[in-house]
Amino acid sequence: MPTRSRFVPRLLTAAAALAAICAGTGAARAADPPALAIRDAAPVGAPRIVRHSPTRPATRRWTLCAVFPHIKDAYWLGVNFGMIEEARRLGVEIRFREAAGYPNLDIQAEQVRACAASPEVDALIVGAVSRDGLSPLLEDIARRMPVLATVNAIDDRGIAARVGVNWYEMGRAAGDYLVAHLPPSREPVPVAWFPGPRSVSAVVDEGFRDAIAGSRVRVATTAWGDTGKSIQRNLVQAALDAHPEVRYLVGNGLMAEAAVSVLRERELQQRVSILSTYLTPAVLRGIARGRILAAPTDFPVLQGRLSVGQAVDLLEKRPFPRDFGPVIRIVDPASLKHIAVDESIPPSGFVPTFLYKPQLPPAKQ
């Protein structure tokens, strides 16, 4: 999961929403364009809000190397898609490596070293598995090439620029939504809370707990864990077994996806509700079909585009925002028609892609 601030996409009806996602049509382009929050030198809590202005094509064929925590869910697949598309538009090469999960700091460190050791690589983009576990290594690499952060929160040491949102605000947005949509009653409302991997999700946990402080929401259990769907499914099962009083399952997108089928199997759909802390294609389908209440989105596809554009602007020595990202928005049935889905969700046919090279112009005769 991610760095500092977030926002939302659009649709027409539940059927149109699903059609746009599955078909990857241009329908979503009619939605409200996402806004960006620029945090450069801004006081805390006071980013400058602007509309996105696309990066100009590169003047030379730069080579970028991006390292991800994994590409085993639709969130990081969306970032992967956005980076590939922007590299194609700008005319640069991009290579990818993924660490196969958040526990794998050593693997990611080796992948970072491999990127930095290549004489062809001009800049490194890091989606970190840990906030500060890579910092000494990145500080060293930054003496030789620009290092940029994408999506996940990371220590400033060695980082030339970053794209992302504040995951505290993602957790807070989910908590605020839950508190605002509780059924009328004076009774405490027990929830099971699934923040995600402890290495990067502490700020999500903090934001959610701050949002529910003083409300009727009571956290009956907290289950940390990697965002593998089978892992999250097991955590949901265990939480429901240990706490049958729970009325809401709140947490990461893979938990929300898994919880839909778990509640169906246990015939709990009318008794227990689901709220996600971020958007995936399956979460969006769940919202459109009334099986998931809502989710904040930070437009992972757009974040991928922005990161590649930021790297190119840095290499081209152009002015650009050093710390920015999408404005967070809530996706629920009421907001679907205002959401640019194609900036959050990769096309249904897109698969993890680990290399893009620009086509060379045809040789002159």
Domain segments of the chain as ranges: 14-165+298-356, 167-297
Give the residue from 289, 351, 295, 260 showing the smallest Cα distance to 9.
295
User: What six digits make up the tokens of 149?
Assistant: 């952060």
The packing angle between helices 229-242 and 253-265, to 10°, is 50
Would you report the helix, strand and coil content of the chain in percent, each value rounded to 5? 40, 20, 45
Architecture of domain 14-165+298-356: 3-Layer(aba) Sandwich (3.40)
Range 86-95 average pLDDT = 97
Angle between helices 167-180 and 198-212 (to 10 degrees): 40
Over the stretch 5-27, which tens digit does the pLDDT of each residue have? 322 232 233 334 444 444 443 33
Give, as one character, the DSSP assignment of residue 60.
S
Residues 6 or more apart in contact with residue 106 via CB below 8 angstroms:
none
pLDDT band at 125 (very low <50, low <70, confident <90, very high): very high
Distances, alpha carbon 253 to alpha carbons 24, 76, 244, 348, 364, in Å: 21, 12, 22, 17, 51
Q: Write phi, then psi, for 215 (nearest 5 degrees).
A: -95, -175
Residue with tokens 């199997």: 265
Greater model confidence, 365 or 32? 32
Q: Check pLDDT > 80 for residue 171.
A: yes
- Say if residues 5 and 47 touch (Cβ distance below 8 Å): yes
Q: 178: which DSSP letter?
A: H
CA distance 293 to 252: 13
What pLDDT band is residue 141 in, cutting at 50, 70 and 90?
very high
Instruction: Examine domains 14-165+298-356 and 167-297 and report if their fold is the same.
Output: yes
Q: How far apart are CA 201 and CA 168, in angstroms?
A: 9
pLDDT given for residue 41 in this prediction:
52
How does residue 337 score in pLDDT terms, banded at 50, 70 and 90? confident
Across the range 65-81, mean pLDDT stands at 95
Question: What phi, psi does 67 have (nearest 5°)?
Answer: -115, 135
Which architecture does CATH list for 167-297? 3-Layer(aba) Sandwich (3.40)
Token match 């099986």: residue?
291
d(CA 106, CA 104): 6
Q: What is the pTM for the complete model shown? A: 0.83
Distance between CA 305 and CA 35 in Å, rounded? 14
pLDDT tens digits, 182-237: 999 889 999 999 999 998 899 999 999 999 999 999 999 999 999 889 999 999 99
- Poorest-confidence range of 12-26, 166-180, 232-246, 287-301? 12-26
Average pLDDT of the residues in 115-125: 98
Segment 245-271 shows an average pLDDT of: 97
> Mean of the per-residue pLDDT values for the chain?
89
pLDDT at residue 199, as a whole number = 83
Tokens 């382009």 belong to: 29
How would DSSP label each residue in 277-311?
SS--HHHHHHHHTTSS--EEE--HHHHHHHHHHHH
Identity of residue 217? V
Query: Per-residue pLDDT for 363 more than 60?
Result: no
